[in-house]
Amino acid sequence: MPKPKIVILTGAGISAESGVATFRDPNGVWANFDLEEVATPQGFACNPAKVQDFYNMRRRQMGSVEPNAAHQALARLEQALPDEVLVVTQNIDDLHERAGSRRLIHMHGELGRALCLACGAGSPWMDDIAAQSKCPACEAMGRLRPDVVWFGEMPYRMEEVGDALTGCDLFAAIGTSGSVYPAAGFVEEARAAGALTIELNLKCAGWASRFDEQIEGPATQVVPAFVE
């Protein structure tokens, strides 16, 4: 597949208007849960049931939310410019694919998938008690964890993302605070490669100065306008 000319990084803000909580906004996920307890390998080792409960709750929420106009606009962009658009999402929800995006990298994993601690195989998450069930690859019992990337773990497909960033003409970051690396460093990689860099955010704050342009407003309004 040819290298994409447009790389779009998305964060929790793109799903906010679908009803999915962001992490660091007031009343975001980290205002209600201790990230050390629920989003680190150490937290999982210490209290796996608590971590499974946290992701089971978020998985259940996913059943009641729908892609919004911003997800749909990015899917239309991909359809209009086949092979030219890559969406790299930090989100573990499935709203991009449900909107129709196909060239998509879930760099922080997916709520809908399980990872076997015994053999490392990924598989679809079957239900809320998957932690007690059998790995479809190695048949180990009770060794499944959510296939998401916690602090201190390596995000997925970074080589592919790095290649895309060095070859793109346009890099846009939508609805992310730029607080978490390596995603927070993508803008510099794209700029160094000569790409135009644009931030779209409800409030363009701290890290906006690292972009060539900023577009402020809710994703459901600014993303369709940016794409059309």
SS3 of 106-150: the string is ECCEEEEEEEECCCCCEEECCCCCHHHCECCCCCCECCEEEEECC
Active-site residue flag, 108: yes
Question: Residue 125: what are its φ and ψ, rounded to 5°?
Answer: -75, 125
Decide if 16 contacts 203 (C-beta within 8 A): no
- Binding interface with ligand BJW (CB under 6 A): 11-13, 16-17, 22-25, 28, 39, 90, 92, 108, 148-155, 175-177, 179-182, 201-203, 218-219
Minimum CB distance to ligand BJW smaller for 75 or for 184: 184
Measured between alpha carbons, how far is residue 116 from residues 123, 132, 140 in Å? 8, 11, 8
Please give the residue whose beta carbon sits closest to ligand BJW in the complex: 13
Nearest distance from C-beta of residue 198 to ligand BJW, angstroms: 13
Nearest distance from C-beta of residue 92 to ligand BJW, angstroms: 4
Q: How far apart are CA 196 and CA 37, in angstroms?
A: 38
Minimum CB distance to ligand BJW smaller for 4 or for 175: 175
**Residue list for the binding site:** 11-30, 55, 58, 90-93, 116, 119, 135, 138, 175-177, 201-203, 219
Tokens of 64: 């009641």
**Residue list for the binding site for Zn(2+):** 116, 119, 135, 138
Look up residue 218 and give its DSSP letter: -
Nearest distance from C-beta of residue 15 to ligand BJW, angstroms: 9
Minimum CB distance to ligand BJW smaller for 42 or for 179: 179
Catalytic (active-site) positions: 108
